[in-house]
Amino acid sequence: MTDLTKLLPLEAVNKLVLAWSDYQKIHETEKTKRELIHADRDVQLESIRSQKDVLRDCIKRTFKERAGIFDKSFAMLDQGLASGNDQTVNAALGLITTTIKENPMKHAVQLIQDVHNPNVRVIEI
């Protein structure tokens, strides 16, 4: 850096004005970058909020559906046991077993993957 005391007064003023101008440009550029970062953050947070709502709804419906399947399966099991109908008991136990083996979150996992996949244009819930 040049020693300002050795410069002519006009040169010193010119360098000072140039340094101030450079500072202002950098300041504005960085301010704009910060504003873009904040705007992007807001967009991303809103996206997370909406995805959370969709996921929550998907999970609620999945478990409500499963609860209904279990209710019907156990009612069928009760009927089969009460009537001594082995076929009804076997069918009820098969349905209960199949429902237990199925991962209830696979639909939610697929939904999350679809949300993050830029190639997926439409998501069916």
pLDDT band of residue 69 (cuts 50, 70, 90) is: very high
Q: How far apart are CA 76 and CA 82, in angstroms?
A: 10
Gap between the Cα atoms of 108 and 118, Å rounded: 17
Alpha carbon distance 113, 118 (integer Å): 10
The residue segments making up the domain with residue 37 are 10-116
So what's the pLDDT on residue 10? 81
pLDDT at residue 123 is higher than 80: no
Domain count of the chain? 1
With 0-12 / 13-18 / 19 or more C-beta atoms within 10 angstroms meaning exposed / middle / buried, residue 73 is buried
Report pTM: 0.55
pLDDT of 121 strictly over 90:
no
Q: Is residue 68 part of a domain?
A: yes
- pLDDT, tens only, 74-90: 999 999 999 999 999 99
**Is 125 a member of any domain?**
no
Does some domain include residue 121?
no
